Amino acid sequence: MNSKRWVAIFIAVGLFLVSSAFTMFTTVFSTTWDDLFQVSDHDFEEKIIERGNGNGKIAVVSLNGVIESGYDVPSIFSSVGYNHKEFLQQLDYAAKDGQVRGIIIHVNTPGGGVVESSEIHDKIVSIQEEYNKPVYISMGSMAASGGYYIAAPASGIYANPQTLTGSIGVIMQSINVSQLAEDLGIQAEVIKSGPYKDIMSATREMTEDEREIMQIMIDESYENFVDVIEAGRDLPRSEIYELADGRIFSGRQAYEAGLIDGLGHLHDVYDIVREELGQGNLEIVEYTTSIGLSSLFSYSIQEILSNQSELLGLRGWLQQNQGPKMMYLYTD
């Protein structure tokens, strides 16, 4: 690497450090000391969006990014996107807050893991049955596959006419590099306890038996998806099958198909929920990530390293090496 490249790298790192320091100090000086050093049993705070009549509030919880649990161990390399544990904590907090009359989940996701989507779905059902608090879904730019799966049991689902939703189905993907490996003279050596232990291996073709095994699993999860829609939307199963072929819908198409209850932006949903709850001008609050020294440090490190990790392909490599798994996920 020549000297000009090294100079460019040092300049880039310097700019990232200056930008991160500026972000940190700006946040520190715009935050009270109590908030900065606060100790809480959760990593988020409540922000008032619209003041109300004092009779209670509606909690807004945001779901942004791919629905995956990720790693349990905190890391400076962890993504700044969706946090599964925190999202479930926010739902629990809203459910247990006696002032919260209803919950709105603002969804922007292409879907995600089958297990994680199921956990959110079950949490929504639990909140509505055990706490008698209605949960509403406001779809953003995308609420596809797992994003629709979690929406199905809600008391009301609303979307922008241009929202991408649907993609009802299950997918499991792997890659096959066996031909490339052969061309490069690379041979995989595998020692396994049974014939199916390396099923969906990237270094060989799948057998018909293996494909049948995986298809049975996919079909089982698919039927579960249909069950969820049938229970949540009260649509005939035959009609759901016609819609559940993996295609995506615009918000308007989803409304015409009976997959959602209405069209509107997030602020429109505020008014809809207030009216349906019938308790007047309830306060609207949003749960946001807390600002503390640990959060600031984590954010700064992530900001510095995010572009480098993308360039090096570390994030993609880590995701690929988690192994194939079933997903309620829209992929373009």
Alpha helices in 37-175 (DSSP H): 84-96, 114-130, 146-151
The residues, ordered by sequence, that sit 6+ positions from 22 with a Cβ below 8 Å of its Cβ are: none
The answer to whether 315 and 79 are in contact (CB under 8 A) is yes
3-class state of residue 209 by DSSP: helix
Catalytic residue list: 145, 197
CA atoms of 272 and 277, how far apart (whole Å): 9
CA angle 262, 266, 267 (to 5 degrees): 105
Phi/psi at 329 (nearest 5 deg)? -140, 135
Radius of gyration of the chain measured on its C-alpha atoms: 23
- Decide: 75 and 298 in contact? Cβ < 8 Å: no
Is residue 123 within 8 A of residue 91, CB to CB? The reply is yes
Of 115, 105, 170, the residue nearest 331 (C-alpha): 170
Residue 161: count of CB within 10 angstroms of its CB: 13
